[in-house]
A = this chain, B = another copy of it.
Amino acid sequence: MSEEQAQSDTGEAATDGAEVTPLNALSLATPPVQQVVEGALMAAGGPLTLDQILGLYPEDRRPPREEIRAAIDALTADYADRGIELVEVAGGWRIQVRRAVAPWVARLWEEKPARYSRALLETLALIAYRQPITRGEIEDIRGVTVSTQIVKTLTEREWVRVVGHRDVPGRPALYATTRRFLDYFGLRSLNDLPPLAELRDPAFFDEQLRAAGEARPDDTDHGDPR
């Protein structure tokens, strides 16, 4: 009875913002940094940042950042021949099933992964490449209305969120992609997105159009804009 009391007393203290650790457990010998890092990345179920890993240690026992970095590098090397790999994404570091093995592992689940409609992907692409962007602007480019369902799906998946409102009548919401979006597609930042096709200079094609009236010039030298 009194033991329980003592234990939950520390719990009470925790709610007042004091140290939250099961101290008795942590006061045992500290395991090697690499083991803690590996255990954490394995259990997290998603990416962890360096700070999150450091946060696992009580302040007075926190290893230097470089040590965590070194452990991550060592693990990355260790996994070279394994069924898993350690990758960096926007949300930090993540352990995932090696891509070469993934098709086998995918057979664990009966259902096939979701496919996304072109409408959804085009909307997502516009938000990713043109953020922050309003729904109206997306519709202007796509030439069709964007269904509420698509915006809802993107928001619910936490790939997209409202980051503000354009200061025009109606104050339309401005959408941007999230870190979750980057993590989902295995990207470290928006810069990792496949490059957007170059837009041929409008000034050029104006001229082109004008010239077209007389004689059609050979336009093989300006590459296909995909």
Chain A interface residues toward B at CB < 8 A: 3, 8, 12, 17, 20-22, 25-26, 28, 31, 34-40, 42-44, 48, 51-52, 54-57, 59, 81-84, 95, 97-98, 100-108, 110, 112, 115, 158, 180, 183-184, 222, 225-226
Q: A35 contacts B106, CB within 8 Å?
A: no
Identical subunits present: 2
List, in ascending order, chain B residues with CB within 8 A of A112's CB. 20
Among B25, B42, B225, point to the contact of A83 (Cβ < 8 A).
Answer: B42
Interface of A is mostly: helix
When the two chains form the complex, which single residue of B36, B101, B106, B222 contacts A101, counting CB atoms closer than 8 Å? B36
Known: A39-B97, A226-B52. A31 touches B105 (CB 8 A): no
Instruction: Report the separation of the CA atoms of residues A101 and B35 in the bound assembly, to the nearest whole angstrom.
Output: 7
